Amino acid sequence: MTDLKTTFAGLSLRNPIIISSSGLTNSVGKNKKLAEDGAGAIVLKSLFEEQIMLEAEQLKDPAFYPEGSDYLAEYIREHKLSEYLTLIKESKKVCPIPIIASINCYSDSEWVDFAKQIEEAGANAIEINILALQSDVQYTYGSFEQRHIDILRHIKKTVSIPVIMKLGDNLTNPVALIDQLYANGAAAVVLFNRFYQPDINIEKMEHISGEVFSTVADLATPLRWIGIASAAVDKIDYAASGGVANAEAVVKAILAGASAVEICSAIYQNTNAFISEANRFLSAWMERKGFNSIAQFKGKLNIKDIQGINTFERTQFLKYFGKKE
């Protein structure tokens, strides 16, 4: 009999399928259905610091006296936060699985106090998302990585629930950052967040959105870095995100060293049915390979695998193309 239970960020999950922060998780009704359909945990739709601050700023009408304008800005901020806390509380009432709050932020000024309110509302953990492109000509090397550490430190001083860091793949050395995040109290990391994909319509000569959904081809990047990082920094938990487009990808992520996977595109494209499909496939694969628990094969193919060839750190295609005529 196979057991799909896993531990991620100190949380006990009935299976490794986590629904990632998205429009799929923005209402109590949707979250209840995801839990009923077999999800292991749910990350609520992110609360965006930048969006809240922008909306608040737009309310600052110069025609108003300063105090009134500031009052309106504060009102919109508090209203957004209140709505989010309600989503946490109500989702906890109807979901027997971990509910993880998500904050998308670029500074630590606004979120220290609110992190405590998230904890008090009943969230089982907080996922911090600091996704941003670093394109400033005057950029100071290492400052973006340091921002992750600073925000984590401030939030860890405020809450006792696990803090998960969701990283972008625009890092020179994710392993070094993960090591520092662990040293500063992070319970887990998610590799990786997905950037908006830009494209260009050459007939209209205008900017358009590129592919919205991730594909199985996107899995290579999280596989590579989980395979490397889980061997080097093995006291922190990992989740794969991006490219978990089929059931096989779940097995691959765990073999590389992940404790869980975060999925979004696969649900949008295949409905909630993907959850049970992935769990059935995982269970059948484990039974076929003689594994009773996820712990028995987690990280079996990370770079510590002495039987294997270290493909995770390979950067060239020489071996592949050398065989081509």
Query: Does residue 1 belong to any structural domain of this protein?
Result: no
Give the C-alpha separation, 274 to 24, whole Å.
13
Query: Does residue 86 belong to any structural domain of this protein?
Result: yes
Identify which of 77, 79, 99, 80 has the alpha carbon closest to the alpha carbon of residue 88. 99
Query: Does residue 108 belong to any structural domain of this protein?
Result: yes
Residue 276 has pLDDT above 60, yes or no: yes
Give the C-alpha separation, 49 to 30, whole Å.
23
Q: What is the tens place of the pLDDT at every residue in 27-57?
A: 999 999 999 999 999 999 988 655 555 555 5
The total of structural domains in the chain comes to 1
Range of the domain at 176: 6-322
Residue 166 has pLDDT above 90, yes or no: yes
Give the C-alpha separation, 285 to 2, whole Å.
10
Kindly state the average pLDDT of the residues 292-304: 95
Query: Does residue 143 belong to any structural domain of this protein?
Result: yes
DSSP bridge pairs for 43: 100
> What pLDDT, on a 0 to 100 scale, did the predictor assign at position 140?
85
Domain of residue 199, CATH code: 3.20.20.70
pTM over cut 0.75: yes
Query: Does residue 150 belong to any structural domain of this protein?
Result: yes
Q: What is the tens place of the pLDDT at every residue in 87-122?
A: 999 999 999 999 999 998 766 666 667 889 999 999
Query: Does residue 95 belong to any structural domain of this protein?
Result: yes
Q: Which residue has the higher pLDDT, 177 or 46?
A: 177
Query: Does residue 292 belong to any structural domain of this protein?
Result: yes
Determine how β-strand 260-263 pairs with β-strand 188-191: unpaired
Give the C-alpha separation, 248 to 268, whole Å.
18
